[in-house]
Structures are given as structure tokens and as C-alpha cells.
Amino acid sequence: MILEGVRLADCKLLRCGRERDDTRQLCPECEQRLLADLEWFTKNIGYLETDKMNRINKNHDANGGGGGYSDNPPLREQVFDLLYEGDEHMDSVWGTLSAFAKCLGVEYLNHDPLNVLAQRIAVKKTKQGEPACLCSTATPVYALEIRIARDKCQRLLNQGHTVSLGNCPNTDCNMPLSADETAKQVKCRGCRNVWNIQFLRTLMQDKIKHSTYTGTASDIRSKLQQAGYLVSANTLKSWAHRGKLTPVRKEGRHPIYRIADVYMLMQQTNPVDDIWGLVGKDAK
């Protein structure tokens, strides 16, 4: 029985603030959101890579490209990183779901598909018949991680990947430009000029080559991804291990690298290892 005027405990999900029953980990709204997120993974995660690749290739056809269903390697890598690898593996969807499953005592195999893993988490019950995913002391942490993972997957599934193209070449404008990864032209929202993507990419490449920006491996990957260049965490680790990529300093335990050094290694490995180069190659 809840006494009138007595405030209940706050939901344990970070930044929620709604009230929850003392016997629960989350408020009713966050409980329903977690169950809905797990259901979304069960029903939709299997379509992520196929849907994304097919949509990109259809865009190639619409722009006069060669068509077909040959996947774009950097985009496949982006999907793989999100689902299975992440920056430290545990940042991936697989890392999040498998860690939560262990907390709940859910049995699974390492080769289980993500939708199967999500379903097993959702149907696991406590001895009292409650959904185990709502009752664990780990629930508040993983409910938030699963929510973030779903949002990332949904954006990748339903929307184009937008990449940065630097500032407008019109020196009287300098409006930041961005476009979908498959676009051929972009219209500036400031001066209304239309710019050829390949021209902007050339400017961007030169800017990266001469950039003094430094950051952690994760920072570098994020910046390059914003510009349409994708490199996996494992590739960076391999370059560092083999001495091909040398840190400029360390911040705590994290080595700090130059973005220009990473970009040059990417170009040496594959001169057109970027979204825009591959789109242009397919369109020939």
C-alpha cells in the first residue's frame, strides 16, 4: 500500500528521475522501454546489414551507377563494428547483450545471432515468474546501454549515413557542409551554391593530410568516420603493434595519435578506401 504524500524512490536509470516501486530497479516507463528495445532487436537486427547494403546499391542505380549488389567494404565494416566489434568489443551490440545475459544467467553460444540472444534475455524469468531483465541490479546500466545501441542501429537501418564535407568553398559563406554518403552533389544552406562532392572530397583529403589534430584511437576513428573514412579498431591496433603507427604521447593509459598519420596509412593500404572513392568507382 502506497501512502499518500510519500515520495517513492527514483528510477535507477541514469537521468530518468521518475518514481519507481522500492522493489523494482526501474520506473514502469523504463521497464516497458527495455522490453520494447529487446523486442526490437529480436525482430529487426537481422535486417540491418542487408537493408543497409541494398539501399546504398539502389542509390547507386538511381545516380547512374553500375547497380548490382556488391557491398561497399567500408560500410560493411561500419555495420560490423557496431554489431560485433566496437572500439573495445564490449562497446558493440554483441558485447552489451552478452554481458547482460551473463548477469542474468542466460545461457547462450558465442555464435548465436543477435536476435536470438536478445530474445533469450527477454524471456528469461526469475523464480517468481518476473522478467529477469527487469529485476537484476545490473538492469539500470544495461537498460541504458541497450537503449543507446538500439538508437544507433535504428539510425543506421532507417537513415543514410551523413558525412562531413568541411566548410563551403565560398569564402564569403564558410557554412559547414554535410551530405549522405551516396550523394554526388550538395547544396549549401548558406549561399545556396551547389558543389560537386568529389571536389569537396579533394579539399577534405588535403585538409586531413596537413591536420595537426591528435586524439585517442577512438577519437581518430570517430573523426575519420564523420569525414567518410572508416578504419576498424583492430586495424589501428595492428598498425600500432607493428610499429607502423606511433603515438605522439600518452594521456593516462591511452596513446594519442595524429589523424594525419592514420589517414596516410589508410591511403597506403588502399588508395580508395573511403566511401566516396568507392561510390565514384562503382559509378564509372
Residues of the chain below pLDDT 70 = 1-7, 49-77, 86-90, 158-161, 269-284
Return the pLDDT at 225. 77
Could you tell me which residues come within 8 angstroms of residue 78 by beta carbon, excluding any fewer than 6 positions away? 156, 161, 225, 230
Return the pLDDT at 180. 75
* Boundary residue ending a domain (158, 178, 197): 158
Same domain as 70, residue 102? yes
Same domain as 176, residue 143? no
Same domain as 147, residue 70? yes
Does residue 185 sit in helix, strand or coil?
strand
Total domains present in the chain: 2
Q: Which domain holds residue 178?
A: 163-283
Return the pLDDT at 271. 44
Same domain as 84, residue 114? yes
Residue 4: inside a domain: no
d(CA 71, CA 159): 17
Return the pLDDT at 224. 85
Same domain as 90, residue 21? yes
Same domain as 97, residue 194? no
Largest Cα span, the chain: 72
Same domain as 126, residue 199? no
Residue 131: inside a domain: yes
Q: Which residue is associated with the grid cell 579498431? A: 233
Return the pLDDT at 193. 95
Same domain as 238, residue 131? no
d(CA 268, CA 279): 19
d(CA 270, CA 229): 12
Same domain as 123, residue 31? yes
Same domain as 202, residue 120? no
Same domain as 94, residue 189? no
Same domain as 185, residue 146? no
Residue 1: inside a domain: no
* Boundary residue ending a domain (158, 183, 206): 158
Residue 3: inside a domain: no
Return the pLDDT at 31. 95
